[in-house]
């Protein structure tokens, strides 16, 4: 199945964990996908920052959706690497993933995770890299 933004949003809405976290797909296509979520208290760790697990979730899912732009809807993520750069805080977390290369069976993607704060400042807080596999 070919995906577009509307279908990608339906897939995300069908993921109970993404609903629990409060994620939304805000861009999909042209070899990339963007996920966003509002930073709310339930998503923090003990020091008030966004929990690293939320960033990891966002990287995983943005990479999976980006892979879906190349491989279609029936994909699974083989794995990914995330490097945390700065504590994440602000209003919104944005995970922008792009396909670096894809074959018929596999897509390798990179992802930048940024936060947007009250003043409109965008801060890079993590980078990730991962592989998506077509289930055929």
For a second copy, the binding residues (CB under 8 A) are 11, 14-21, 41-46, 51-54, 56-61, 64, 76-87, 100-101, 106, 108, 110, 124, 126-129, 131, 133
CA distance linking residue 10 with residue 4, whole number of Å: 10
Rounded least distance, CB 100 to a second copy, Å: 5
Phi-psi region of 120 (alpha: psi -120 to 50; beta: other; left: phi over 0): left
Rounded least distance, CB 29 to a second copy, Å: 20
Nearer to a second copy, 27 or 82 (CB): 82
Nearer to a second copy, 29 or 81 (CB): 81
Nearer to a second copy, 27 or 80 (CB): 80
Instruction: From 66, 61, 64, 120, select the one nearest 92 (Cα to Cα).
Output: 120
For 31-105, list the strands marked E by DSSP: 32-38, 75-84, 92-102
Rounded least distance, CB 31 to a second copy, Å: 13
Nearer to a second copy, 5 or 127 (CB): 127
Rounded least distance, CB 108 to a second copy, Å: 5
In 3-state terms, what secondary structure has residue 125?
A: strand
| φ, ψ dihedrals at 69, nearest 5° | -65, -25
């Amino acid at each position: 199945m070919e995906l577009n933004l509307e279908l990608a949003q339906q897939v995300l809405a069908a993921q109970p964990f993404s609903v629990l976290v409060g994620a939304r797909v805000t861009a999909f296509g042209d070899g990339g996908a963007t996920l966003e979520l509002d930073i709310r208290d339930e998503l923090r760790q003990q020091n008030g920052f966004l929990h690293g697990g939320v960033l990891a979730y966002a990287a995983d899912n943005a990479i999976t959706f980006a892979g879906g732009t190349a491989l279609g809807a029936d994909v699974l993520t083989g794995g990914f690497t995330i490097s945390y750069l700065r504590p994440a805080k602000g209003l919104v977390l944005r995970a922008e993933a792009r396909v670096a290369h894809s074959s018929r069976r596999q897509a390798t993607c990179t992802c930048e995770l940024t936060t947007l704060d009250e003043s409109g400042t965008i801060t890079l807080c993590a980078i990730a890299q991962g592989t998506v596999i077509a289930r055929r």
